[in-house]
Amino acid sequence: MRVGCGLLNNANLRIKLPPCMVEIERDALIEFVFPLDLLKDPVAQWAQLEGRAILCPLNRETLELNNIIMDRLPTREKVYTGFTTPVSDETTVDVGLQNNAADVNYENLSRLTPPGIPEHNLRVKVGAVMMIITNISLEEGLCNGTRVQIMELFTHIIRCRILTGTHRGNTHDLHVARFLFGGDSRAPHEGLLRCERIQFPLRPGSVMTINKAQGQTLSHVGILLDRSQCFAHGQLYVALSRVRQAENIKVCTKRPDRLVKNIVMTDLLDPVDLEPQTAAGTTISDDPFPHQPPADNELSINHEHTTRPSPSLSTPTTRTSRQSSASPVTLNLAQGVTRDLLRKLVVVKGDITNQHVFIVVNATNSKLEKGSGVDDAIHRACSFELTLLRLELQDHLEAFNGALPAGTVVVTPAYGDLRDHIEYIAHAVAPVALGSTPTTDDIAALKNCYSNALDHLLATEIPPERPQPRTIV
């Protein structure tokens, strides 16, 4: 989100990419997204190809890279030659066409490939990833932007398999279609004459423009920024947010400082998004004592329509105030739990990664792998620095031969967007007791998870620099 709001931009509207995300050469970028082993048998490995794409700011770059990737396919090839000719505009006088018809160079018309128009000479290979560029059948999933894989090539038909959407895996036969372009003074790059092209409604889909990729979720993405830069509002954010994990994206740039352009028109954004998150006032549900303090052995919670100042040690939240008509609830407290202790606790509903706290405890598995729920939210909040977090966790994992015992706590700094308001992450290896009664060892391990995390909190002062992580057993 900080990329989309321009909060990471320098004075020249550029942001600096981490070294692990940068490739210098185009061939390395192509190899990252489309390894040669994957292209040897693309039809059999279509499930691995469907979520891979290279994104470019400009249309002409997509044509160049698509040809390079097409050359690497060892499958059968066929070139379909379209029919491109000038046509008269029924809404205007044909004087322009009559005056220029004698000067028309049909070879030049065949070279024009505006956005949204198929190439005059459409090069296709079996197994190649292509993109449908017009709406054919909404019911069958053949829509503009649908990615397909070529299955068979015939003289007048191309058989393909859908790679995206609810119709994924279905095969269809495609026929030629009619496309109009040119003749618009506002788009002189399309030509001064109104033209039509009869061709299959396909363009190579391994490489596409950033604008065309908007709204898609991909598994592996390469962004080509070695010759051109993002030129429109939010383009870089759209490109970087196509994947869920930072290690599955690479950016090709030859700049040694790793700076890329990030155009953000702040006038279009909500002013709240342009300011660092501040501690909002606590809500009614955040206050553990909305009424007079109860006795030490019970806690009565009743949400009224009035607010009280929050306890000094409560966790600030970003949720807005709301009213609730929930009925009173009485909780039986464990031995040793007192009113003073409860004043230090607060129940927060919502995303824990939005809280302004010193340390957050995260229940994880023995292999420190990403899970669901809170663990998934923390990994997503680490965003572009997720690789650095995983490298630190891997170091601790190797020290325990690949599996940490329950009750172990690995403490690391926060990364990415998470470190804006959280200093540390305590990765607590929790016991697994799904579907069964927790044993005495499970309860002891769970207690160690939080006691070890609290021990670290008590022993650590907020330093001027982020300290090295450590493991508590």
CA 297 – CA 13 distance, rounded (Å): 58
User: Coil, helix or strand for 17?
Assistant: coil
What pLDDT is attached to residue 343? 66
Pairing label, strands 357-364, 422-429: parallel
CA angle 463, 467, 471 (to 5 degrees): 130
E strand segments, 384-448: 409-413, 422-429
CA 148 – CA 127 distance, rounded (Å): 9
The token duo for 425 is: 């992450």
pTM value is: 0.55
What pLDDT is attached to residue 419? 77
CA angle 226, 232, 236 (to 5 degrees): 55
Nearest alpha carbon to residue 49 among 157, 125, 138, 143 = 125
Q: Is 406 in contact with 428 (CB distance < 8 Å)?
A: no
**DSSP class of residue 8?**
T
Q: Is 49 in contact with 38 (CB distance < 8 Å)?
A: yes
**DSSP class of residue 239?**
H
User: Coil, helix or strand for 106?
Assistant: helix
The token duo for 198 is: 């009869």
The torsion angle over the Cα atoms of residues 199, 204, 205 and 211, rounded to 10 degrees, is: -80
What pLDDT is attached to residue 263? 86
Superfamily of domain 340-459 in CATH is Leucine Aminopeptidase, subunit E, domain 1 (3.40.220.10)
User: Coil, helix or strand for 65?
Assistant: helix
- Please name every residue paired with 174 in a beta bridge, in sequence order, or none if there are none: 158
Nearest alpha carbon to residue 249 among 15, 51, 40, 1 = 51
pLDDT by residue for the chain (473 residues), tens only, comes to 678 777 788 888 899 999 999 999 999 999 999 999 999 999 999 999 999 999 999 988 998 999 999 999 999 999 999 999 888 755 544 555 555 555 567 777 888 888 889 999 999 999 999 999 999 998 999 999 899 999 999 999 999 999 988 899 999 999 999 999 888 777 777 777 888 999 999 999 999 999 988 888 899 999 999 989 998 888 999 999 999 888 999 999 999 999 999 988 776 666 666 655 444 443 333 333 344 444 444 444 343 333 333 333 333 333 333 344 444 555 566 666 676 766 666 666 667 777 777 788 888 887 877 777 777 788 878 876 777 787 878 877 777 777 888 878 888 888 887 877 788 888 888 887 666 777 888 788 888 877 777 776 666 655 545 444 445 54
CA atoms within 13 A on the CB side of 163: 31
Q: Where are the domains of the chain?
A: 27-87+107-210, 340-459
Q: Is 268 in contact with 233 (CB distance < 8 Å)?
A: yes
Q: Residue 221: CB partners within 8 Å, gap ≥ 6? A: 33, 52, 53, 54, 55, 239, 242, 243, 248, 249, 250
What pLDDT is attached to residue 333? 65
CA angle 117, 123, 124 (to 5 degrees): 105
